[in-house]
Structure 1
Amino acid sequence: MATIVKTPSATWKAVIRKTGWPTTAKTFRTKRDAEDWSRRTEDEMVRGAYIQRAGADRLTVADALTRYLAEITPSKRPSSQVSDRQRSAILTKHLGKYSLAAVTPEVAAKFRDVRLAGEDRKDDIGGPVPRSNDTVRLDLALLGHLFTIAIKEWGIGLPANPVMNIRRPTPAPGRNRRLSAGEEAKLLKAVALHSNPMLRWIVSIALETGMRSSEITGLRRMQVDLDRRIVRLLETKNTTPRTVPLSKDAVEIFREAITHPVRPIDTDLIFFGEPGRDGKRRPYNFNPVWLNIKREQGLADVRFHDMRHEAVSRFVEAGFSDQEVSAISGHKSMQMLKRYTHLRAEDLVARMDEAALRHRGQVREA
């Protein structure tokens, strides 16, 4: 039986001592509430379903996120750390005052719907600013991981992760943007006219190799072996190192970049920026210039990642197997790889004609 006593502050404290369970206590405003809680808790202990929720009742989402950023985020990649801090601010704004125990699936679902509808942000004329499905999916991913860590590693007593019991927004369909020959020529001509040759080198290497922008700009000289015509990528999006083969054109681009006479001696970055306030050089941030050039050329809808899409699609069109393409691009999932390998319809038409001619020839010979 629970022990229920009246405290000096006129509240009622229930204390449960049961063999095999830690001593559990909770304070209530009325004696009846204390008795009801005691009966429910003892019943859960008998059934083996009791979860000590005191920590979850006291720990707010804001405090949990602060601990998460201090303990979990530093183990992630730099780009993920930035994303965690940004999304933590959003979660704190919406859910920061809730205790972990108070975040039910209904609360998480409401947060999802508010973000999707844009009800938490207004435009210049007071209208809502909806967020994309992918943005909200990432918000929920961080919230869900926070609860997973709290339950599994911090020992916070919760019956379940509330984010696991709600619908996630449908992922956006993969982009199917291919560059036409004319668009590619315009872009390459425009970037070649820019005062900094690194922009041309970066765009050309993306088209030749299918590497991501972060993989290219983070390259150091020791990673590029021009004799063997390979690039060793040590840090990739999926955290698995890979070796990228280089075409003859890519080798010449890298040779030009590495041997450029303007190269400073205080960095081994191939594509370097100006020294920061701390005196350190970081990778060249080409994005502002890239955005301006796209707009000037009437190609604002082209993204730099489309260079990777184009390169990987060309590998497929050249007859590379899925395994060979994934070895170059670093895609682990064949399903994900298919998002980047959209064959041109006109090329398929030509191959259909070739197949029909071969078939007719075989029929005549028979």
Structure 2
Amino acid sequence: MATIRKHRGKWQALIRRKGCPELSRTFTKKADAASWARQLENEAETRGLPHNLKELDTLSLGDVIQRYRDTITVHKRGRQTEETRIRCVLRQKIAKTQLANLSPALFCTYRDQRLRYASPDTVRRELSTLQHVLKIARQEWGIPLPSNPVQDVRKPPAGRPRERRLEPGEFDALIKACKICRNPLIEPIVRIATETGMRRSEILNVLWIDVDLAARTLHIPLTKNGHPRTIPLTTRATELLSALKNDDARQSFPMTTNAFRCARKRVQSRSELVCLTSAPMGQFEVIA
């Protein structure tokens, strides 16, 4: 089963077993080669031969990240956000590391370096994505990683929850800044958010077929938690949607997420509000 032979001035141990890939390793000393071969033979008697770990020397972390992006991320609802996160990780030095050289210490170094330039929440999400990438690689793609090194890495603590709300007069300043925008949809979106408590993604995906102005309800078929819901519309929200009603349009707010994000930054700058962000509770929070 095991063969020890001289190879290029060193000793090479070869192990062959029916139904398993050939394993080999080269040592300086013949005794070390024989010891390694005996160890694998003993393991083979109880668990079978391990996978051929040479595959780990031919693949980099970036290779499996790209495969994950092309086969897993593309089917997620939040694929645009994850693709952006993956592009950022692929630009990092760690993406060029061979799978055989991955270790918890390496990802700890990556975490500490990223925390110099990115927020703890951003780094936390990057590590979570990397952990799932390696989990899929081990469990579904048959890549013989001995363990998931990211699993043993301490994640940065979650950020503090947002607490500060708009003060008196700040909403007026916000609306005034919205009126200056060239895009006429910004002000209605802000007002709908405050009237309904809808998330940004939910508002931008509203279809007229889901709006019942007579019954004053709005159906949201796709929510963040995956469960559809129907919400009542206030008088003000009904009036806003009635003014926007267009029988020829499919979407109530035909606008991309990136376009709204850019407009939000301009509104924030004009209104002089600090760190303006849309919130699930229909408020526009101001974070100091």
TM over 0.5: yes
Q: How does 1:60-75 map to 2 (within 5 A)?
A: 60-75=60-75
The separation in 1 between residues aligned to 2:183 and 2:73, in whole angstroms, is: 35
Q: What's the counterpart of residue 322 of structure 1?
A: none
Q: What's the counterpart of residue 104 of structure 1?
A: 103
Q: What's the counterpart of residue 197 of structure 1?
A: 184
Q: What's the counterpart of residue 222 of structure 1?
A: 209
Q: How does 1:181-192 map to 2 (within 5 A)?
A: 181-192=168-179
Identity of aligned residues (%): 34
Deviations 1:198-251 (A, max 9, x none): 211100000011111121122121121112222222333333322222112111
The separation in 2 between residues aligned to 1:283 and 1:156, in whole angstroms, is: 36
Q: What's the counterpart of residue 363 of structure 1?
A: none
Q: Give 1:106 shift.
A: 1.1
Q: What's the counterpart of residue 356 of structure 1?
A: none
The separation in 2 between residues aligned to 1:182 and 1:228, in whole angstroms, is: 33
The one-letter amino acid paired with 1:172 is G
Q: Give 1:89 shift.
A: 4.2
Q: What's the counterpart of residue 354 of structure 1?
A: none
- CA shift in 2, pair 1:88/1:286, >3 Å: closer
The one-letter amino acid paired with 1:309 is M
Q: What's the counterpart of residue 227 of structure 2?
A: 240
Q: How does 1:75-154 map to 2 (within 5 A)?
A: 75-77=75-77, 79-91=78-90, 93-116=92-115, 118=116, 130-154=117-141
Q: Give 1:18 shift.
A: 4.4
Q: Give 1:294 shift.
A: 2.4
Q: What's the counterpart of residue 301 of structure 1?
A: 275
Tell whether 2:269 aligns with 1:269: no
- CA shift in 2, pair 1:101/1:238, >3 Å: farther
The one-letter amino acid paired with 1:241 is P
- CA shift in 2, pair 1:89/1:12, >3 Å: farther
The separation in 2 between residues aligned to 1:271 and 1:54, in whole angstroms, is: 53
The separation in 1 between residues aligned to 2:48 and 2:146, in whole angstroms, is: 9
- CA shift in 2, pair 1:291/1:28, >3 Å: same
Q: Give 1:188 shift.
A: 2.5
The one-letter amino acid paired with 1:231 is L
The one-letter amino acid paired with 1:158 is L
The separation in 2 between residues aligned to 1:107 and 1:135, in whole angstroms, is: 18
Alignment length (residue pairs): 283
The separation in 1 between residues aligned to 2:91 and 2:100, in whole angstroms, is: 15
The separation in 1 between residues aligned to 2:180 and 2:108, in whole angstroms, is: 50
- CA shift in 2, pair 1:35/1:241, >3 Å: farther
The separation in 2 between residues aligned to 1:55 and 1:241, in whole angstroms, is: 44
Deviations 1:99-133 (A, max 9, x none): 223211111111111111x2xxxxxxxxxxx3211
The separation in 1 between residues aligned to 2:11 and 2:147, in whole angstroms, is: 29
- CA shift in 2, pair 1:271/1:59, >3 Å: same
The one-letter amino acid paired with 1:204 is R
Native 8 Å contact 2:277 2:284 kept in 1: no
Higher relative contact order (CA closer than 8 Å, sequence separation 6+): 2
- CA shift in 2, pair 1:96/1:293, >3 Å: closer
Unaligned runs of at least 5 residues, structure 2: none
RMSD: 2.9
- CA shift in 2, pair 1:245/1:14, >3 Å: farther
